[in-house]
């Protein structure tokens, strides 16, 4: 969360502000999760300029949602990590763009390849089928509370210019 600069979500609370009352905020989150009162907020739409002149659209969750998302991530990573292809580097623990470059360099040298393709799938995450994601997660996770949290994150919506838009 610190890498993102502690930016505020739609509730306006920054990471620093959340941290000022850390114990109280974490206890409140824990209570909401235990009593099933927790509700993920819509993400805040932010436009990041790209080198080619375009923009990359990002959704910034509230800090409290990031805390819960990170907890779910910590729970799910050991369950799913072993299924991923060894040459997959994006959004994986202990893997970086430098590792991907090293792997590409190794393939070029070993197999005499002459080209590398750098792909950015346009709006990839915006187009994922939420029900398909849930179905795949259900194959390895049976806890209904965890599945409900994932569903909330997927369907929380996005605030664009003060208006709520759905996420698929």
Q: What is the pLDDT of residues 75-126, one digit of tens each?
A: 999 999 989 988 888 888 899 989 999 998 999 999 998 887 777 666 677 7
Q: What average pLDDT does this structure show over 115-139?
A: 82
Q: How far apart are CA 117 and CA 129, in angstroms?
A: 26
Q: Are 97 and 110 in contact (CB under 8 A)?
A: no
Q: What average pLDDT does this structure show over 132-149?
A: 96
Q: How far apart are CA 65 and CA 122, in angstroms?
A: 25
């Amino acid at each position: 969360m610190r890498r993102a600069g502690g930016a505020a979500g739609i509730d306006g609370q920054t990471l620093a502000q959340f941290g000022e009352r850390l114990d109280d905020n974490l206890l409140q989150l824990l209570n909401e999760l235990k009593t099933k009162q927790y509700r993920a907020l819509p993400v805040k739409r932010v436009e990041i300029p790209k080198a080619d002149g375009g923009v990359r659209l990002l959704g910034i969750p509230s800090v409290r949602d990031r805390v819960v998302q990170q907890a779910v991530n910590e729970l799910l990573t050991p369950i799913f990590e072993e299924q991923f292809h060894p040459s997959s580097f994006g959004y994986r623990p202990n893997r970086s763009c430098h590792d991907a470059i090293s792997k590409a360099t190794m393939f070029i040298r070993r197999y005499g390849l002459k080209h590398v393709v750098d792909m950015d799938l346009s709006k990839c995450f915006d187009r994922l089928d939420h029900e398909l994601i849930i179905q795949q997660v259900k194959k390895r996770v049976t806890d209904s509370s965890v599945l409900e949290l994932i569903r909330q994150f997927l369907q929380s919506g996005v605030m664009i210019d003060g208006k709520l838009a759905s996420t698929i």
